[in-house]
Amino acid sequence: MGNTHAIILAAGKGSRMNSSKPKVLQTLSNNTLLEHVFSQAKALCDRIHVVYGFEGEQVQRKINDPNINWVEQIEQLGTGHAVAQVMPHIEDNSISLILYGDVPLIKESTLADLIHKAQQSGIALLSVILDKPTGYGRIIRQNEQIQAIVEQKDANNAQLNINEVNTGIMAVRSQLLKQYLSKINTSNVQGEFCLTDIIACAVADGQTVSSIVSKNQFEVAGVNDKVQLAELERVFQKNQATQFMQQGLSLKDPNRFDCRGTFTFGRDCEIDINVLIEGKVTLGDNTVIAPNCIIKNAKISNQVSILPNCVIEDCVIEDGATIGPFARIRPQTHIKTYAKIGNFVEVKKSTIGENTKVSHLSYVGDAIIGENVNIGAGVITCNYDGVNKHQTIIGDGASIGSDSQLVAPIKIGKNATIGAGSTITKTVSDNQLSLSRTKQTSLKNWQRPTKK
C-alpha cells in the first residue's frame, strides 16, 4: 500500500472491564484485542506504532513483536494528543492509518480501501450507520460532503438526530495530519485534544474529506465492557463458522461451535455441537467429530471418528482411528491407522500401533505399543517412579489382561500374554504367558461384617 504507517491507540485503562489487565489485553478467540488489530495492520502497513499508557509494561510483554515501535502517552489528554506523540517517528510523504486497540473485528479489505482513498484525496474517514447512535460523534455533511464531526456532548438537538457516526478510524497523508494536529485545542466539553477536530480543520483548509461507510456495525465496534466483549466473541465465531461452511464443512449447529485458532479440513467432514477448536488443527477427509469435544494442536487424518466428550491435544491421529467416548489424548501421542482408544482411556506421550485396541478404563503413558495389540480394561503403565519417567515397550500381537500394571522400564515381547490382575516388573519374552496372581483361597467360615 505504499509508504503506510499504522498508529494503534492502546493507552486506555478500560475501567468498565473491572479487570487488572488493560482493556487491549482482554481476549477474543484466545487473542488479545490488540493482537487482532495488529494482525490487520501488519498485513497492510510498512511500520506499526502502538501508543501505550496504562500498564504499558504488561502490554509490551504480551505483544512482544520487533515490528512495533512503542510510543508512551504519559498524560491521557485525548486521542489527538495520543496521535501527536507518534508524529516525530513518521515521514511526511507517507499515509498514517489511525486504528484503535479495542476494535478487533475491523477488516483488512476495509482498511485497504481507506488507505487507497487517502492516497487520492489526502484524508479518508470510516463511518457507520447506527439505528441507535447515542454516545457517538455525529458526521456532519453538507451537499453530501463531510464538514465536521460533532461529539455527543457538544451536539445540538438537530445533530443528535443524525445516525451516521464516526468510528475514529481514518487514513491521512502524514504531512496534512501533522499540520492539522498543530491547530486543534481543548475547547470542547471533554477538555481534550480530540482527533476528530482535524476534520473541521481540513474542511476550513479547503481539503475534501472522503469517506467509506461501513455496512457492518460489528466490524467497527469498540469493546468497553465484558458484555460487549462477549457479544463480539459470538459475532467473530459466527463469521468463522459461516466461512467454514462455505468451504464445505458440515456443522450441526454453527451457533454451538468455537474455533480459537487455525483450522483446516478436507472434504465431507462433520462436526456436531459444542466442539472447541484451539491452536492449529487439521482434519483429513470424511472425519467426524461428535459433541462436546475439545481439540487443540492436533493433526487428524482421514475417516477418523472422534466420539463424544473427548479431549485431544498436541497429537497425531492417523486414518481410520476411533477415539472415545470420554477419552483423553495428551501431548506427544501418535495413534496409528485403525487403532481404537475407547471409553475413559488416557494416553500420554505414546505411540499406539496399527489396529491396536485400548478399549476401556486404561492409562498408557511413555509407551511404544506395536500392531494388533489388545490392552484390557483397567491396564496401567506405571511410568513414574516418583522422580523420573520410564518407558514401556509392547511388541506386536501382545495381549495385556485386564487390571494389570506394567511397571516401567519394561518390555513385553511379540505375541506375549499377560494374565489378568498381574503386576509385571520384568521383561516378558515373545510368545510367553506371564502372570503374578497368588493362589486363590476361600475361607468357609468367613462372615461379612455387619453395619454397626
Q: Please check if 11 is assigned to a binding site.
A: yes
Which three cell numbers, joined as nine digits, stand for 231? 457479544
In 3D, which of 370, 309, 364 has the Cα closest to residue 339? 370
Active site residues: 360
**For every residue of 252-269, which 3-state class applies, written as one string?**
CCHHHEEEEEEEECCCCC
Q: Please check if 151 is assigned to a binding site.
A: yes
Q: Please check if 338 is assigned to a binding site.
A: no
Q: Please check if 2 is assigned to a binding site.
A: no
Distance between CA atoms of residues 117 and 111, nearest Å: 10
CB 421 within 8 A of CB 404: yes
Q: Please check if 413 is assigned to a binding site.
A: no
Distance between CA atoms of residues 63 and 35, nearest Å: 7
CB 285 within 8 A of CB 269: yes
Q: Cα angle vertex 180, ends 147, 59, to 5°?
A: 105
Residue 172, judged by CB atoms within 10 A of its CB (0-12, 13-18, 19+), counts as buried
Q: Please check if 266 is assigned to a binding site.
A: no
3-state helix, strand, coil in the chain (%, to 5): 20, 35, 45
Q: Please check if 102 is assigned to a binding site.
A: yes
Q: What is the CA radius of gyration of the chain?
A: 31
Classify 365 as helix, strand or coil.
strand
Q: Please check if 78 is assigned to a binding site.
A: yes
Q: Please check if 93 is assigned to a binding site.
A: no
Find the Cα–Cα–Cα–Cα dihedral 260, 261, 267, 268, rounded to 10°. -20
Which three cell numbers, joined as nine digits, stand for 220? 467497527
Count of residues for the chain? 452
Q: Please check if 166 is assigned to a binding site.
A: yes
Q: Please check if 363 is assigned to a binding site.
A: yes
Q: Please check if 376 is assigned to a binding site.
A: no
Q: Report residue 430 CA to chain centroid gap.
A: 48
Which three cell numbers, joined as nine digits, stand for 158? 438537530
Q: Please check if 100 is assigned to a binding site.
A: yes
Q: Please check if 374 is assigned to a binding site.
A: yes
Q: Please check if 388 is assigned to a binding site.
A: no
Q: Please check if 197 is assigned to a binding site.
A: no
User: Residues comprising the binding site?
Assistant: 9-12, 23, 73, 78-79, 100-102, 137, 151, 166, 224, 330, 348, 363, 374, 377, 383-384, 402, 420, 437
User: Residues comprising the binding site for Mg(2+)?
Assistant: 102, 224
